[in-house]
Amino acid sequence: MPPLPTPRPPGFSRRTLLAASAAGLAVLATGCSSPPADEREQVTSAQADGLAAQVAVQQTLVDAFTAAGTADPALAAEVSVLADQAADQLRRLRAAAPGSTASAASSAGAPPAAPETRTWLRDQVAAAATSHAAACLDQSGARAALLGSIAAGLRGQEARLA
């Protein structure tokens, strides 16, 4: 009997994904006119801008976790793993969009006091997930895979916070 599908298909690594994204965007940033080694990873300026925008979205979410934790210390302890995951997602997005800057992030506003903080944070997570999923549609290759995966991860967080 064949085995059940594995979560990690061979020959398709996160490192490959991120290296490919970075290489594609680096070509764009330097204005190199010769085609990249991997034609799949050619990226338009709109795609590069779109990915940079998602870095700002993720930065806003990371800031929201910090603000929520300040407003409700008990919640901070409960969601520390989620906050770490959001920060990890931000690092990956930055690595895939080397031209992005943190200054473009917008504020999510001040969270309400407990016990409303949790619902506020869940809404921030949901908004970021929706944004990444929408942005994924206009990307391709590794960038689409990364944004789609992050969007899905945040949907899982949203469910956890429900």
Which residues bind to another protein, rule: CB under 8 A?
A: 1-9, 11-15, 17, 20, 38-40, 81-82, 85-86, 88-89, 92, 129, 133, 136-142, 144-146, 148-153, 155-160
Shortest separation between residue 14's beta carbon and another protein, angstroms? 5
Nearer to another protein, 53 or 145 (CB): 145
Shortest separation between residue 92's beta carbon and another protein, angstroms? 7
Residue 121 is inside which H or E element, if any? helix 117-136
Q: What are phi and psi of 37, to 5 degrees?
A: -60, -40
Shortest separation between residue 94's beta carbon and another protein, angstroms? 14
Token pair 């469910």 is found at 159
Token pair 């991120």 is found at 18
Nearer to another protein, 113 or 159 (CB): 159
> How many CB atoms are closer than 10 A to CB 51?
25
Token pair 């956890």 is found at 160
